Amino acid sequence: MTVRVLDKLKERFGSAILETHSNFGDDTALVAPASWKEICTFLRKDPQMDFDLIIDLCGVDYPHRAETNERIEIVLHLCSLPKRARLRLKTRVGDEELNGAEVDSVTHIWPGANWFERETFDMMGVKFRGHPDLRRILMYPEFEGHPLLKDYPAARTQPLVQYRNEEEAGLPLEKIAPFREDEGMSFGRNVWNSADENN
């Protein structure tokens, strides 16, 4: 079953399937962003495929791939209840400035993708063409930038309410890292900041 899904995809879409593997039974196909919607429609509608359940859709930021316009990887997890199959579909879009970070929305194929796409837009800045209501879902509308991008500064907050000033509050208001390196958080703010200084 498992290999057949990938074979079928390769047979039908040819060069739009850039890469496949099925390590440990995890079928994965990397596809060209232009064919995203077509492939998804096929996976949903074809009676042999019948992927009727969307498990997850999310984005991953790979800054080092920005030169080839492949900065953001969009990952879609599908499941077919009738055929008992699972499939992971990936595509890569966007350059350094997120130009071209767009794919077609799959909300019309799986209505459950609606909020996943909004989340991916909110966190990663990927635009989904044809999405019925592409707004931020977790952050507030006033928020600038996309916080899960690797170049969003770890210490940057955007308060909605003006913090009280120090005399009023009677306490220092700068943010302090909760745990230091010697307290077991080697990946904490301090390390992050000192890496920034070296760059």
Partner 1 sequence: MSNQPTRTIALEANEQGFATTRLDALLGWARKYSLFQYPFVTACCGMEFMSVASPRFDLARFGAEAPRFSPRQADLLWVVGTISQRQAPVLRRIYEQMMDPKWVMAFGTCASCGGFYDNYTTVPGIDKIIPCDIYIPGCPPRPEAALDGLLLLQDKIARGDRTPGIVKPREDPMTHLRQHPRGLPLLGGIPNSIPPSGGPSAGSKSDKEHT
**Of these, 19, 159, 197, 198, which contacts partner 1 (CB under 8 A)?**
159
Q: Does 172 bind partner 1 (CB under 8 A)?
A: no
Distant-in-sequence, close-in-space partners of 186: CB < 8 Å, separation ≥ 6? none
User: Is the separation of the CB atoms in 79 and 51 below 8 Å?
Assistant: yes
For partner 1, give the closer residue by CB, 14 or 172.
172
Terminal-residue alpha carbon distance, the chain: 49
CA dihedral 186, 191, 151, 21 (to 10 degrees): -30
157 counts as binding partner 1 under rule CB under 8 A: yes
Residues numbered 121-140 forming contacts with partner 1, rule: CB under 8 A = 139-140
Establish if 191 lies at the interface with partner 1 (CB under 8 A): no
Contact between 24 and partner 1 per CB under 8 A? no
Least separation in angstroms between CB 154 and partner 1: 7
Q: Are 133 and 118 in contact (CB under 8 A)?
A: yes
- In the region spanning residues 62 to 121, those forming contacts with partner 1, defined by CB under 8 A, are none
User: Least separation, in Å, of the C-beta of 30 and partner 1?
Assistant: 30
C-alpha–C-alpha distance, residues 184 and 182, integer Å = 5
Q: Which is nearer to partner 1, 36 or 121 (CB)?
A: 121
Piece of 16-24, 32-40, 99-107, 166-174 that binds partner 1 (CB under 8 A): 166-174
- Residue 42 and residue 105: Cα distance in Å, rounded? 14
Burial class (CB in 10 A: 0-12, 13-18, 19+), 59: buried
User: Which residues contribute to the site for partner 1 (CB under 8 A)?
Assistant: 139-140, 147, 152, 154, 156-161, 163-164, 169-171, 173, 175, 177-179, 188-189
